[in-house]
Structure 1
Amino acid sequence: MKLIGSLTSPYVRKVRVVMAEKKLDYEFILEDVWAEDTKIQIHNPLGKVPCLLMDDNGSLFDSRVIVEYLDTLSPVGRLIPQTGRDRAATKCWEAIADGVLDAATSIYIENNRRAPESRSQQWVDRQHKKIAGALESMDNSLGDQAFCMGINFGLADVAVGCALGYLDLRFPELNWRSQYGNLQRLDEKLQTRPSFVATAPPKP
């Protein structure tokens, strides 16, 4: 398999962490989707990463779709419950963590990819409110549990860890640790895992 992505994309990182946890072999192909000569749309018509190229030349895109597929490839380190309420709860954790990423990447694009005269502070403020609300909800839901779903590490923790890592990368001024102690405790635990260490984004 080949994974097309970037070193700073948190969605790509989520897939890379899952592949590391599942001990899956793949080739990592760097791609700048903002470059004029990007070829990403050959494999993903939406022009986004991550994109997974499979051995039969088929492709999968969207991190949620990719990690769902990857978890079926090996029984090693099952990350998503197969059925029932725990599965739905895991996907909800992933959804709220991805919501943080969606808001954070929107702010970054607004402030760095749009012309200054076209930027909307009202839009940016709206995205910050989403981030704050999601962090508070996740912190409360986590409580004193070891991991998002209780005692076992899973996809929920991967998604949350990647979201928190992206906030550290792009918005260190948020200082979320001072407000969300439960998430801080989880993050400290996740950052010791080899899968997170190996996929840490380069510092600006």
Structure 2
Amino acid sequence: MKLRSSPASPFGRKVKIGAVLCGLHLDVVPADTSDPADSLRGQNPLGKIPVLLRDEGAPIYDSRVILDYLDALAGGGVIIPAAGEPRYAVLTALALADGISDAALLQVYEGRYRAAQERSANWVDHQAGKVARGLKALEASPPRKAPVSGAADAAEIALACALGYLDLRFAGAWRAGHPALVAWLDAFAARVPAFEATRPAV
């Protein structure tokens, strides 16, 4: 299987870690979301990453769907609980972590794709507020490993990648006010070596 992604994407990183925990190999093929000539737009009409290309079957996207697919390939219950309240708890926590990454990315894109005179401070503040509220909730109640057979569940993976992205693009400013999350991330990195192995160099 091939994964279309880019090194800095927290969503692509999440899939790479999920694949490792599921015991699956992915060949990573770089994608340029801003290049109209990149084949990515034929693989995902939205032109977003990551996209999983399979030997048989249509491409799969987005990252949450890919994680669910990888978990099923591995027999189920490896990174996502199979059923019941544990499953919905992980999926809800996964949505929160992904929302933090989404809001962080939108702040970066505002500076990257808009001319200075077109940028909206209100829009950036709106996205920053989502990140702040998400981190506050998680600081008050850091994740606990769900009953899965892997070293971490999908929500934990997503949160670690979101925090890693905040380190990468926002110089780790989140750390000063969130000691419980800092400790949690250190513990996650210790039990999931794939986190460090997928750290972007950019």
The two structures share one fold, judged by TM-score above 0.5: yes
Question: Which digits, 9 at most, give the CA deviation of each residue in 1:17-49, with x for residues without a partner?
Answer: 101111202211011111242221111000011
Aligned-residue Cα RMSD (Å) equals 1.8
Show the counterpart of 1:164: 163
- The code of the aligned residue for 1:195 comes to A
Any conservation in 2 of the 1:22–1:76 contact (CA below 8 Å)?
A: no
Any conservation in 2 of the 1:60–1:66 contact (CA below 8 Å)?
A: yes
Q: Give the gaps of 5 or more residues in structure 2.
A: none
Matched, 1:24 2:24: yes
Question: Which digits, 9 at most, give the CA deviation of each residue in 1:154-182, with x for residues without a partner?
Answer: 1111011000000000001x522221122
Any conservation in 2 of the 1:5–1:12 contact (CA below 8 Å)?
A: yes
Structure 1 residues 9-158: aligned runs within 5 Å: 9-75=9-75, 78-142=78-142, 147-149=144-146, 153-158=152-157
Show the counterpart of 1:202: 201
Q: Kindly state the Cα deviation for residue 150 of structure 1 after the two structures are TM-superposed.
A: 8.0
In the alignment, the residues of structure 2 paired with residue 77 and residue 18 of structure 1 have an alpha-carbon distance, to the nearest angstrom, of 12
Relative to 1, partners in 2 of residues 1:57 and 1:85: Cα closer, same or farther, differing over 3 Å?
closer
Question: Which digits, 9 at most, give the CA deviation of each residue in 1:104-161, with x for residues without a partner?
Answer: 000000011111111100100111111000001011122xx7x354897311110110
Any conservation in 2 of the 1:101–1:166 contact (CA below 8 Å)?
A: yes
Q: Kindly state the Cα deviation for residue 77 of structure 1 after the two structures are TM-superposed.
A: 7.2
For residue 4 of structure 1, give the secondary structure of its aligned residue in structure 2. Answer: strand
State the TM-score, normalizing by the size of structure 1.
0.91
Question: Bigger shift: 34-43 or 66-75?
Answer: 34-43
Q: Kindly state the Cα deviation for residue 85 of structure 1 after the two structures are TM-superposed.
A: 0.7
Q: Give the gaps of 5 or more residues in structure 1.
A: none
Determine which of 177, 180, 183 is the counterpart of 2:178: 180
For residue 37 of structure 1, give the secondary structure of its aligned residue in structure 2. Answer: coil
In the alignment, the residues of structure 1 paired with residue 36 and residue 147 of structure 2 have an alpha-carbon distance, to the nearest angstrom, of 45
In the alignment, the residues of structure 2 paired with residue 81 and residue 75 of structure 1 have an alpha-carbon distance, to the nearest angstrom, of 11
Percent identity of equivalent pairs: 38
In the alignment, the residues of structure 1 paired with residue 182 and residue 119 of structure 2 have an alpha-carbon distance, to the nearest angstrom, of 32
